[in-house]
Amino acid sequence: MKVAVIGGGSTYTPELVSGLSRERERLPVSELVLQDIDASRRSVVGEMAGRMLERDGFSGRLTVTGDLDRALDGADFVVVQIRVGGQAARLRDETVPLRCGCIGQETTGAGGFAKAMRTVPVVLSLAERARQLGDPWIVDFTNPVGIVTRALLDDGHRAVGLCNVAIGIQREIARRLGVEPGRIRVDQVGLNHLTWVRAVWLDGEDVLDRVLSDFGDELAAMQELPPRLLHELHAIPSYYLRYFYAEADVLGEQLSGEPPRAQVVADIERELLELYRDPSLDEKPALLEQRGGAFYSEAATELIASLAAGSGDVQVVDVRNEGTLEGLAADDVVEVPARIGAGGPEPVEQKPLAPELLGLAQHVAAYERLTAEAAVTRDSVTARKALLTNPLVREYAKVDELVDELLAEQPEAVTR
């Protein structure tokens, strides 16, 4: 089995390598390829990965390369974890919207739109090359996952989107209940970065009421939302929903002068890369937990192993709706529990979303549809419609300014 990681110079990579090593009995990888366009990063991260694999007794081959074809040729699975434009682009995504009175965030709102416009064409290009060299499963961890996965599926690729939010809340609930994570399954439903946990299954019994009663206040505090909201919704919102449920508060915090998350992450990445240069380091450092993406390795390796074996276990992934969530279009990409077989994920049947959840999901789904189209067609009118539809933008005066500002340094992004 050959696994190719595109964006292998990411500081996330040791997290993924750790997971692949841990699951080597279930996931017999004969070749792991780390591909990255940044020679310095791929060298540092590649050497770090090599030490980790050697420590764990990896019997396969590790290839570190800048050659995309070398990575894709014959790959069974292609993991995409790229950041087009790097942290500098992320910083613009998080700061430019603030000048227009909008939240700045890299995956949702206007910042997520800008990132999608940069990212979708690049991912589609590499996916097309992968199709020419074989027919791998493409596992997309590149944000905005819902929009990128939609573009991949629209283009006919065997693709599934993956996010770490579901496994994160699963592990948190298991910790609070004092049980092994494998005994917990969360019914997290909605769109990527716009999800709600509507059931928590412990050994087949829904214990959501118990979780909300015993730990609701603490979970709400983690999301920086009032406990009453969780009880009234009778669901646990993803922490990304704070951007919608407390928009004014978030905007005020971002305008207060605190360093943007992009700047914090850039500092963490520099420190991580310096740590990775230590020839004695052969395990992921604790600092990596501050980078974000907790439990990414577990989610990714579980998904790849289940696709390879056709195990049929249930995992939360991003797939076509196909009637799973009533009120959303069949071709919308939703984030829901799905049975992972060799033929791909099959969504688990879901009850309809409550009106207070469905309304927001429909709104964001319409925005994602328009953004995916604009990223491919490069049409300025479609781009403006996408931002007008975005719940965190909405106003036409802001739309004009944002389109000009966000795309000013990437004129190829829109045909004007």
Give dist(CA 409, CA 149) in Å, integer. 25
Residue 322 Rama label (left phi>0; alpha psi -120 to 50; beta) = left
| Interior angle at CA 218, CA 213 and CA 222, nearest 5 | 135
Give dist(CA 382, CA 405) in Å, integer. 16
Structure tokens at 13: 């990579």
> What's this model's pTM, rounded to 2 decimal places?
0.95
Partners of 206 in the β-ladder: 201
Predicted pLDDT of residue 410: 61
H or E element, residue 197: strand 194-202
Give dist(CA 376, CA 374) in Å, integer. 5
Give dist(CA 347, CA 340) in Å, integer. 9
Which residue is catalytic, options 12, 240, 243, 296? Answer: 240
Q: Which long-range contacts (CB under 8 A, 24 or more apart) does 349-356 make?
A: 349/324, 350/187, 350/189, 350/324, 350/325, 351/198, 352/325, 352/326, 352/327, 353/189, 353/190, 353/325, 353/326, 353/327, 354/233, 356/233
Residues 29, 304 contacting (CB under 8 angstroms) = no
Give dist(CA 368, CA 410) in Å, integer. 20
Cβ-based neighbour number of residue 222 at 10 Å: 14
User: What is the three-state SS of 128-145?
Assistant: HHHHHCCCCEEEECCCCH
144 upstream amide cis, omega within 30 of 0: yes
Give dist(CA 353, CA 343) in Å, integer. 27
Name residue, tokens 């310095």. Answer: 40
Predicted pLDDT of residue 413: 45
Give dist(CA 15, CA 377) in Å, integer. 35
**Per-residue exposure over 295-322, b if at least 16 CB sit within 10 Å of its own CB, e if not:** bbbbbbbbbbbbbbeebeebbbbbbbbe
How far lies 233's CA from each of 224, 354, 361, 398, in Å?
15, 9, 14, 31
Give dist(CA 395, CA 397) in Å, integer. 6
Predicted pLDDT of residue 414: 44
Name the DSSP letter for residue 32: E
Predicted pLDDT of residue 297: 81
245 in catalytic set? no
Per-residue pLDDT tens over the stretch 263-297 = 999 999 999 999 999 999 998 888 887 777 678 88
Name the DSSP letter for residue 213: H
Helix axes 109-132, 380-389, angle to 10 degrees: 130
Predicted pLDDT of residue 158: 97
Per-residue pLDDT tens over the stretch 174-229 = 999 999 999 999 999 999 999 999 999 999 999 999 999 999 999 999 999 999 99
Q: What is the pLDDT along the chain (416 residues), one digit of tens a residue?
A: 999 999 999 998 988 888 887 788 888 899 999 999 999 999 999 999 999 999 988 889 999 999 999 999 999 999 999 999 999 999 999 999 999 999 999 999 999 999 999 999 999 999 999 999 998 999 999 999 999 999 999 999 999 999 999 999 999 999 999 999 999 999 999 999 999 999 999 999 999 999 999 999 999 999 999 999 999 999 999 999 999 999 999 999 999 988 999 999 999 999 999 999 999 999 888 888 777 767 888 899 999 999 999 999 999 999 999 999 999 999 999 999 999 998 999 999 999 999 999 999 999 999 999 999 999 999 999 999 999 999 999 999 999 889 988 887 664 444 33
Residues 401, 110 contacting (CB under 8 angstroms) = no
Contacts for 99 with CB less than 8 Å, ≥ 6 apart: 401, 405
Residues 74, 383 contacting (CB under 8 angstroms) = no
